[in-house]
Structure 1
C-alpha cells in the first residue's frame, strides 16, 4: 500500500509540473496586456476633455490629441483581439497534455500489473538474508539439476562437429584407457578431451576416476576441474555435491583460482553478493587479466560491487601503466624532439585510461609526476586534486598521492 501511495504522489507532482504552463496561459485570459493599454488610453481621452474645460488646452490641440489617442485605441483593440484568440486556442488544446499523461499513467500501471509483482511485500535486510539461506538450503541435487536440464532441453545439446582426425584420436584414447583404466595421464587426457567434444558425462566419469586413482595426491586443480564439469552438466547451478568438490579443492589449495571463482559464483546464485564481492575482488587483483576467471569476473564485478554496497569500486587496470622494454628501446633511438612526443603520447594514454577506467593510486602518482616532468603543471595540479578526492577514504593511497604532489612540486 505504501508503494502505491508514493507512486501516486510522484505521478501527481510530475503531472502538475507538466500542466502548470498550460494553466498559466489559460489564466492569462483575465488580463491581456492590450486590455490594460485600452484603459490607459481611455483615461487619457478623459484627461484631454478635462484640460479643455479648464482652459489648459485649446480646441485645436485637444482635437489633435484626441486623434492620436484614438489611433492608439484602435491599435490596442486589434492587439486585444489577437491576444484573446491565441490563449483560447492554447486553452482548447490544454486538455491534450492531460489526456496524454493520463494515458501514460494507465499504461504504466498496466505494465506493472502484468510484469511486476504488486503483492510482493517490502524486503528488509534480515528478510533478504533469510531468503538467501532458504535458497541455499533448497538447491537441487546434482541428479535433479541434470534431470531438469535434460527435460528443459528435450534433446541433447548440439556441439560443433569435430575434426574427424581428432575424433579418431579420441577413440584410440578411449581404447587405451579401457586397457589401462588406472593410468592417471590417460584419464586426465580423456577427461579434458571428452569435455572438448561436449561429452560431459564421459568427461566427469573420467575425472572422478582420476581423483580416485590419485587419492590424497589429487591436486586442487583436479577437484576444481571436476566441479566445473558438474556445474556445466547441471546447467550452471552449483549443487551441494559440486560445493563439496569445491571445498576439497580449496582444502588442497586455498588460493586455487577456479575454486575461488566458483565459490563467489555460488554466493551470487544464492543472493549474497556481499560475500561474493571480496572473494572476486581479491581474485581479480591477483590474477593476470587474460585468465578465464579474470575475464568472467571483470564483466560482472561492477554490478556485484554495487549490490554489495561498494558502488565506488574500480577494477584493476587491464594493461600495463607504463612503457614496455620494446618501447623503452625504441625511445632511446629517437631524437630528443621525437622522444618527447613519444613520452607525451604515453602519458596521454595513461591519463585517458585513468579517466575512463580508474586505477590504483600508484598509476595516478605516476601520471602526476610525469606531467610535472613534461612541464604541464596545471594539468598535474588538476589530476592531483582529483586523485586526492578519489582516495580521500584510503589513507595509504592518499599518502602515495600526496607524496607524488610533493615530488612534482605542486604540493607542500
Structure 2
C-alpha cells in the first residue's frame, strides 16, 4: 500500500510541476504591444516639444500626430485581442492539466501492474542469495550458449598459412597424443577465431599433461571457452577456472573471470571482493585492469562498501631492459656485463612469471635473452608467452617480433 501512495504522490507532483510551468510560460515577460504603446506615447510628447521649439511646423505636427495615433490604436487592439486569448487559454489549460494528470497516474499504475509485481513485498537478503545460487546452478551449458551466438565470419588466412594449418590438423588427427602438435593446434586455431576447435585442442593438451597441467593451462582453456560464448561463463568454463585456482590461487586471469561469473549471476558483492584483490595485485597494464576499473565503483555500492578508486599508477614506460640497454654494456668485462644484464632482466622476468605483463614486455624479455645468446631461455619464455596470449592475434604478433629479434623464429 505504501508503494501505491508514493507512486501516486510522485505522479501528482509531476503533474503539478508541468501545470506550474505552463502557467509561468503564459505569465512570463511583457507583451510586445505594451512596449510599442509606451514608445508611441513618448513620440507624441516629443512632437509637442519639437513644435514648441520650432523644429517642426503645425502641419507636420498634425501629420505626425495622426500617424502615431493610428499606430497606438493598432497596438492597443492587438494587446486587447491577446489578453482575450490568454483568458480563454487559461480556462482551457485547467482541463488539459487535469487530463494530463489522469493520464500520467493511470499509465504509471498500468505499467507497474503489467511489468511490476504488485503486492510483492521486499525480498530478504537470504532469498536473493538463494535465488542467485539457483540461477547459477541452472545455467545453460557451453554447447547451448555457443548455439545462441550469431555466426561471425573468420578471417581468411594466407594461402601458405592455410596449407600449413591443414597439414597440422591432419598430423594431429593421425597422432592425437602428440602434445606439441595439440599445443600448436590450440594456439593457431584460436588465432583463426576457430574457438571451439581451439579449446578442444587445449583440452587434449591438459589430457596429455595429466597431473603436470598448470594453472595457466586451465585458465587458457577457460579463456577460449568464454571467448566462444562471447563472454558468458558456462558450467564447463567454471570447472576449468576452479581447477586453475586450485593449482594457483594467485592466477589473476582466473580470478577476474571468477568474479565475472558472480556478476553474471546476481552476486555483485562477491565480484567486488574478488576484483578489489585482483586490481591491487595486477600490473597496471594487465588486460583485465581497464574492465575492472570501469565497474568496480558501482560494484562497491552493491557490496555496501565505501570505496575510492585508486588513481592509475604512474609509469614512465615499460619495465625491463631494451636491446639498446644491453648493447651499451658490451664493452664491460664478461663477468661484469653478465652481472649487469642479469640484474636488469631479473625483475622483469620474475614479475612476468608471477603476475603477468603486456605483450610488449614479454617481447622485450625474449629479445633480451636473445642478445645474451641464451636462446634456450628465450625459447622457453616465447613458449610461455604463447600459452598466455595464444588467443590474442595482435599480442602474438608483438611477441613473435621479439622472438624474431632473438633469432628463435624466422
Which band: TM-score by shorter chain?
0.5 to 0.7
Identify which of 284, 292, 312 aligns with 1:289. 284
Identify which of 130, 145, 155 aligns with 1:160. 155
Where 2:132 maps in the other structure, the secondary structure is helix
Residue 205 of structure 1 corresponds to 200
Matching of residue 170 in structure 1 with residue 165 in structure 2: yes
Residue 136 of structure 1 corresponds to 136
Q: How many residues align?
A: 264
Work out the CA distance in 2 between the residues paired with 1:232 and 1:240: 14
Gap change, CA 1:3 and 1:11, over 3 Å in 2: same
Q: Write the deviation string for residues 281-311 of structure 1: whole angstroms up to 9, x where unpaired.
A: 2212222333222233233323322322236
Gap change, CA 1:267 and 1:24, over 3 Å in 2: closer
CA shift, 1:166, in A, is 2.7
Residue 255 of structure 2 corresponds to 260
Gap change, CA 1:24 and 1:180, over 3 Å in 2: closer
CA shift, 1:242, in A, is 2.4
Q: Write the deviation string for residues 362-396 of structure 1: whole angstroms up to 9, x where unpaired.
A: xxxxxxxxxxxxxxxxxxxxxxxxxxxxxxxxxxx
Work out the CA distance in 2 between the residues paired with 1:167 and 1:227: 26
Work out the CA distance in 1 between the residues paired with 2:178 and 2:198: 15
Structure 2's unaligned 5+ residue stretches are: 26-79, 320-410
Matching of residue 245 in structure 1 with residue 244 in structure 2: no
Work out the CA distance in 2 between the residues paired with 1:21 and 1:242: 56
Residue 99 of structure 2 corresponds to 99
Gap change, CA 1:193 and 1:120, over 3 Å in 2: farther
Where 2:288 maps in the other structure, the secondary structure is helix
Q: Write the deviation string for residues 249-294 of structure 1: whole angstroms up to 9, x where unpaired.
A: 1122111121101110121122111111121122122223332222
Where 1:161 maps in the other structure, the secondary structure is coil
CA shift, 1:128, in A, is 1.1
Identify which of 196, 208, 220 aligns with 1:225. 220
Gap change, CA 1:265 and 1:22, over 3 Å in 2: closer
Residue 273 of structure 1 corresponds to 268
Q: Which has the higher contact order (CA 8 A, sep 6+)?
A: 2
> Does the 8 Å CA contact 1:301/1:315 hold for their aligned counterparts?
no
Residue 302 of structure 1 corresponds to 297
Structure 1's unaligned 5+ residue stretches are: 26-80, 325-412
Q: CA RMSD in A?
A: 3.6
> Does the 8 Å CA contact 2:11/2:104 hold for their aligned counterparts?
no
Work out the CA distance in 1 between the residues paired with 2:215 and 2:311: 26
Gap change, CA 1:179 and 1:137, over 3 Å in 2: closer
> Does the 8 Å CA contact 1:22/1:91 hold for their aligned counterparts?
no
- TM-score where L is the length of structure 1: 0.55
Work out the CA distance in 1 between the residues paired with 2:193 and 2:268: 31
